[in-house]
Structure 1
Amino acid sequence: MSQNTAIFNLFFFNPQGDYRFSWRHPEAPGQEIFTLKYYADLARKAEAATLDNIFIADHVAIWDTVPSGLAHYANPRLEPITLLAALSAVTEHIGLMATASTSYNEPYNLARYFASLDFLSQGRASWNVVTSWLPEEAANYGLEQLPEHGYRYQRAAEFIEVVRKLWDSWEDEAVLINKQSGYFTDPQRVHQLNHEGKFFKVRGPLNVPRPPQGHPIVVQAGSSESGKQLAAAQADIHFVFMSNIEKGLAYRADMDRRLREVGREPSQFKILGGVLPVVVNTPEEKQQREQLIQELMNDQMALDLLTTYLRMDLSEYDPHAPLPPLPAEEGFDGLRTALEIIRGYDANLTVLQLGRLLLQSSDSWLVIGTAEEVADKLSEAFNAGAVDGYNLMFPFLPVDLDNFIEQVAPLLKARGVMKQAYSPGTLREKLGLAPVANQFSTKN
């Protein structure tokens, strides 16, 4: 069954919400963010509301090489595949999207992890591909510095190619478990890869049969030139940031062109916009919300984040003065859109003001208003074709999720923008994505 409604994902950037200071909210969870019960409760809420996926972002390092070190924000988090495997046992329909890096893993490992998650969840696994951009991550894997941007994406392209081959190394009919003949498998339907490329040499086959989805869904979130090309060539779903319909339509047109150039149909490629949906039903609620945010933000954290984005030491600059000259784009290997984001803000803002803006939403789309206004905005962008759905990046958990489920979701369902119930089948089938043929198939 084809999905003709928008895709809605519960997105975790931090366990307490999408802001880097979400943990300071008066109602934010504490130590329970390291327990299964906390995530299971959120997952059950999301599934009861018929959200499509749980999408877990990830880093493989502590963000601590900034002036404040661990003082304000250490970003601890549970490992996504482990967590989603546990959540597969307490959910039945909702998709499970885990972030995993191609820079600090091996294809065989990840092919096996995601195949296993797909079996455990009965076909609900997705892999969000990242190449990792924090210097702290590189340092955890024996590297003196972050590998160059182009190198990381070349490795990622071959990495995904090998993973797909490993998923295909068992044909769908390979498993026999024939007690009479003594054959566990049909040896003619289990294949070695003998892959030799620039980055990887992998014999295969995988020691897990072909997953229920054939290929678990591949998601990609980078929007640099290299990121968009990788998405067009390899991804089923592309996670992007958009701030209005016009930009969304322009981005889709660009991706449609790239897809056709590599021989793919745009209809089989889903674009999800990142959005921070905040329900405030009165002017007083909005004012209280804004006041709370100002109180929770930390100026040093704001300066730290701007430092990280720009890869510049800002300690010698007056935080109340305008931003110093930015680095040249050529050769800049910071966060994908760091310079674009900063240049998109008012040039008259001070260093500290810019940092505080980044703390609140970075380049995500903040949609704040009454439940009706939030539903209007999300419906409008979807109906215009700017996106196929949203990563819902709730600033504060669980309060913002609860408000969305209780107030916005019923409006979206009434308009036909959000589905009323889950359709049968694997996640790939639920989202209207075509099955992937086995490249090693010997079936006539």
Structure 2
Amino acid sequence: MATSKRQIKLGAFLQGVGHHLAAWRHPDVNPADATSLAHLKNLAQIAERGKFDAIFFADTLGLPQIDKRLLAKGAIPYFWEPLTVLAAIAGSTDKIGLISTVSTSYLQPYHLARLFASLDHISAGRAGWNLVTSGTDFEANNFNLNTQIPHTERYQRAREYVDVVKGLWDSWDDHPYLFDQESGNFFDPEKLHFLNHQGTYFSVTGPLQSARPVQGYPVIVQAGSSEDGQALAAATAEIVFTAQQSLAGAQAFYKGLKDRLAAEGRHPDSLKVMPGVMPIIGNTEQEAQDKYEQLQALIDPAVGIALLSAFLGNIDLSKHSIDGPVPDFPDTEGWQSRQQLLVNLARTENLTIRQLYQKVAGARGHRIITGTASSIADQLEIWFTQGAADGFNILPATFPQGLTDFVEQVIPELQRRGLFRTEYTGNTLRDHLELNRPRSQYQ
């Protein structure tokens, strides 16, 4: 399946009307699109026209427990349950992969295995699962818990969870159905397997009702960059979404994660590292910068502080001077890698609370690139060719404009350089990503 020349992989991260915190307030954006399925279908079709490998939906399982008057000042980022949306989008697209976040902490593995197997069949092999463990108490509070499960335990539990899910996806060998009306056998009983899993966290008999997914397993994605997250990714993931701010930092992360694969008996190409990037595109460098500054000016300081507080473990930054330094705070059980990234950024650049939330509000810790289509392609090419990335998860600041600009301006530039496909050459998400179809554990 390998191409003659290594090419960039691209994910389109779809979220409401844009990834910038103030996107919904931009005069060129219709904020009501955040509640529109037609809008999301349109975005998926734009991404497919651009030959993206996949679209991606993140998710959280609740809203922060803060003053509802403050909540009302920000658009709800994850409006609908994403697997339901992707099932609807599957019928409006033909080739593009469909990746959804689902937490291992709040859904039993049987349910998840069945949902993703169904999506993979419905979409003819385009499903991907972004494995997260969740990192907030407000989500735990919606599932009969006072606090979230401790970080290390969440990841230990997730490792077993993946084993159970894969075992359930292997419940049936390929091509099990006979549909033999004369003999009375609907399927070949020798091709059905009971899992009978008994582990530390889960007891699951199986089997799954539906046939083995089209892709064998839907593509497994992981987004944790902490030590626990990287260990889980090396063992289980085929894509890693990560937030990296510098070329050197991204190179170190890329090499470190790839080096871990050998201990798991895996080839480096079996895992694609895709840092998040928010491109702000203009006809000139100044026009792009002006676009970015227009969005930045729309940030409500109270919302910016609340967002930053959430990422830093729900510490109350409102008690500190907005133009003072970011305070020290204790380690938390939440999003550890993102917290560390933001603290490092604040210390390295000597940022105030206001300056840090302004950086976070754009892309929540992901890299922001402003410039012309050519200069943005230059920067993506550098990271791709210098050992920092296999591709990128693109976070447009506003929808649909930001995604359309990338598809119509940056992708043709990447194609001219031979760095990105001009047509799909396969039908499944594994085809696009040049990932092998896994063998069943029973073969």
Query: TM-score scaled to structure 2, two decimals?
Result: 0.94
- For residues 139 and 440 of structure 1, do their structure 2 counterparts lie closer, same or farther at Cα, with a shift above 3 Å needed? same
1:238 maps to: 240
Q: Does the aligned pair in 2 maintain the 1:112–1:206 contact within 8 Å?
A: yes
Amino acid at match of 1:298: D
1: CA distance between counterparts of 2:341 and 2:374?
Answer: 31
2:416 maps to: 414
Residue 295 of structure 2 corresponds to residue 319 of structure 1: no
Q: Does the aligned pair in 1 maintain the 2:180–2:186 contact within 8 Å?
A: yes
Amino acid at match of 1:430: H
Residue 398 of structure 2 corresponds to residue 371 of structure 1: no
Q: Does the aligned pair in 1 maintain the 2:20–2:295 contact within 8 Å?
A: no
Amino acid at match of 2:166: R
Deviations 1:86-128 (A, max 9, x none): 1110111000001111001011111011000000110000000
Amino acid at match of 2:175: E
1: CA distance between counterparts of 2:352 and 2:247?
Answer: 29
Moved more, 253-262 or 236-245: 236-245
Which 5+ residue runs of structure 1 have no aligned equivalent?
A: none
Matches within 5 A, 1:144-293: 144-293=146-295
Which 5+ residue runs of structure 2 have no aligned equivalent?
A: none
2: CA distance between counterparts of 1:430 and 1:294?
Answer: 35
Identical-pair percentage: 38
Q: Does the aligned pair in 1 maintain the 2:280–2:292 contact within 8 Å?
A: no
Q: Does the aligned pair in 2 maintain the 1:249–1:386 contact within 8 Å?
A: yes
C-alpha RMSD over aligned residues: 1.7
Deviation at 1:29, TM superposition (A): 2.5
Amino acid at match of 1:59: T
Residue 20 of structure 2 corresponds to residue 19 of structure 1: yes
- For residues 24 and 109 of structure 1, do their structure 2 counterparts lie closer, same or farther at Cα, with a shift above 3 Å needed? same
Deviations 1:253-294 (A, max 9, x none): 211221111111112111111111111222542353244123
Query: TM-score scaled to structure 1, two decimals?
Result: 0.94
Is the partner of 1:336 in helix, strand or coil?
Answer: helix
2: CA distance between counterparts of 1:58 and 1:109?
Answer: 17
Is the partner of 1:55 in helix, strand or coil?
Answer: strand
Q: Does the aligned pair in 2 maintain the 1:423–1:430 contact within 8 Å?
A: yes
Q: Does the aligned pair in 2 maintain the 1:280–1:370 contact within 8 Å?
A: yes
Deviation at 1:245, TM superposition (A): 2.8
1: CA distance between counterparts of 2:323 and 2:354?
Answer: 6
2: CA distance between counterparts of 1:139 and 1:111?
Answer: 24
Deviations 1:355-404 (A, max 9, x none): 22221233211111011101111122112232111100111111111111
Amino acid at match of 1:314: L
Deviation at 1:178, TM superposition (A): 1.5
Is the partner of 2:406 in helix, strand or coil?
Answer: helix
Amino acid at match of 1:57: A
1:43 maps to: 44
- For residues 195 and 283 of structure 1, do their structure 2 counterparts lie closer, same or farther at Cα, with a shift above 3 Å needed? closer
- For residues 418 and 198 of structure 1, do their structure 2 counterparts lie closer, same or farther at Cα, with a shift above 3 Å needed? same
2:2 maps to: 2
2: CA distance between counterparts of 1:425 and 1:150?
Answer: 37
Q: Does the aligned pair in 1 maintain the 2:288–2:372 contact within 8 Å?
A: no
Amino acid at match of 1:398: P
Moved more, 314-323 or 61-70: 61-70
Deviation at 1:226, TM superposition (A): 0.5
Is the partner of 1:358 in helix, strand or coil?
Answer: helix
1: CA distance between counterparts of 2:102 and 2:329?
Answer: 29
Amino acid at match of 2:2: S
Residue 390 of structure 2 corresponds to residue 388 of structure 1: yes
Q: Does the aligned pair in 2 maintain the 1:66–1:308 contact within 8 Å?
A: no
Amino acid at match of 1:322: P
Number of positions where the alignment pairs a residue of Structure 1 with one of Structure 2 = 438
Deviations 1:404-431 (A, max 9, x none): 1111111111111110000124221231
Q: Does the aligned pair in 2 maintain the 1:63–1:75 contact within 8 Å?
A: no
Amino acid at match of 2:158: A
1: CA distance between counterparts of 2:100 and 2:383?
Answer: 26
Deviations 1:215-234 (A, max 9, x none): 11000000000000000000
Deviations 1:9-46 (A, max 9, x none): 1102x311112221111122332332321111111111
Q: Does the aligned pair in 1 maintain the 2:215–2:430 contact within 8 Å?
A: yes
1: CA distance between counterparts of 2:245 and 2:320?
Answer: 30
Matches within 5 A, 1:64-79: 64-65=65-66, 69-73=70-74, 74-79=76-81
